[in-house]
Amino acid sequence: MSIESNENPPAGEGAIATPRRRRNQIENLGLIRKVWPWAFFALLVVSFTIASKQMNNVDFISNRSVQGILEYTTQILLIALAETFVIITAGIDLSVGWILGLSSVIAAQVMATLFASGASPLVTVGAGALAGVSVAVVPGFVNGLLVARVKIPSFIATLGMGILVEGIALLISGGYSVAKLPPYLGALGNGYVLRIWPGHGVAFFTLPASATGADLQDMIPLMPNVVLVTLIVTIVCWFVLAKTQFGQHMYAIGGNFEASMRAGIPVIRTLIKVYIVAAVLAGIGGVLWAARFTSGAYNAGEYTPMMAIAAVVIGGASLFGGEGTVIGTLVGSLIIATIQYGLVVLGVSPFYQYVAVGLVLILAVVVDQFGRNLGK
């Protein structure tokens, strides 16, 4: 009797247990997909810490390394945020890297002209930054129109726009870097929010008045200026995506385009805004590039979109749309920046960066696809 009762549970018990077990499995898979990028990031840090100590006797976990990784992250993260908005709506934007280059050229050109005319630092930097960001709105708007109204696939529309933008940047710059920028721009782009000078105090945004060049090695720099700007932009993007109706509309459009139309969501207007926002983020990246390298270059962001798309996918976004978070994009960008910086510390050829990032991207897609198949 006991065997029989075990083999034949009471009617309905198995039917209830199976959906519950299935639900638990799906929840566990969802948790794994969210946690694995952070676990992989931690594994990278530990691995580079051990390898750098063994190979070069260098401490990978140090203030210098953290600052370096954060600076590596800034450009990738800004473009990855742009791609996050577009990918959530089931699109892709290949033009943002070239828009970044155009923005750097325009910003540098304006600043060089104003500096040569004797304009004040505030006017020079402010006008250059405004010009660099504003010029990005035009290709972003056209991208939105082509995708939303003309119904051209985003891949083709943004690829064509990117090539066009690169051509314009080449014409403006003549194929050379735009130089002769004000010297204070480099200090601003490569400066720090805070410097701690043991025994002397702290200084915000500038060097202490009594400090000399020899005193720099005794100071502890914290938070590069470009990282602060990127952090503020990231927080704004998180708020827009997570807390506004515009953000919810993006998820809805990416999840089901037709249902969004029937629900009364302004799909065309929303998509146009998405591509404008993506271009503006690229424009900010271009201005920061000009400030860091005190020049403007048409190819400043040429390879960044591929890294950025990898960061978005690693962070858990779906290329089919409807999924993605700013936090996920942040950790994906940190992973790529850590790989890049870590290989530099180890003295490995920079060509291996692409190999490593490609392998991580494939791993991310495999994990994502495996989880989706098991969750079905």
Examine residue 317 and state whether it is found in any structural domain, yes or no.
yes
Buried b (16+ CB within 10 A) or exposed e, 228-261: bbbeebbeebbebbeeeebbebbbbbbbebeebe
Output the domain CATH number for residue 334: 1.10.3470
Q: How many CB atoms lie within 10 A of CB 36?
A: 18
pLDDT value, residue 115: 93
Q: How far apart are CA 68 and CA 58, in angstroms?
A: 14
For the whole model, what pTM was predicted? 0.88
Q: What average pLDDT is seen over the chain?
A: 86
Examine residue 340 and state whether it is found in any structural domain, yes or no.
yes
Q: How far apart are CA 293 and CA 181, in angstroms?
A: 10
More confident residue, 253 or 22: 253
More confident residue, 311 or 214: 311
Examine residue 230 and state whether it is found in any structural domain, yes or no.
yes
pLDDT value, residue 2: 46
Examine residue 9 and state whether it is found in any structural domain, yes or no.
no
What is the tally of structural domains in the chain? 1
Q: What's the domain range around 351?
A: 39-45+54-375
Examine residue 82 and state whether it is found in any structural domain, yes or no.
yes
Helix (H, G, I), strand (E, B) or coil at 252: helix
Examine residue 24 and state whether it is found in any structural domain, yes or no.
no
pLDDT band with cut points at 50, 70 and 90 for residue 8: low
pLDDT band with cut points at 50, 70 and 90 for residue 360: confident
Q: How far apart are CA 94 and CA 83, in angstroms?
A: 9
| pLDDT tens per residue, range 91-135 | 999 999 999 999 999 999 999 999 999 899 999 999 999 999 999
| The Cα angle at residue 104 between residues 324 and 135, in degrees rounded to 5 | 75
Examine residue 62 and state whether it is found in any structural domain, yes or no.
yes
Helix (H, G, I), strand (E, B) or coil at 5: helix
* Cβ(351)–Cβ(5) below 8 Å: no
Query: What share of the chain in percent tops pLDDT 90?
Result: 52
Examine residue 26 and state whether it is found in any structural domain, yes or no.
no
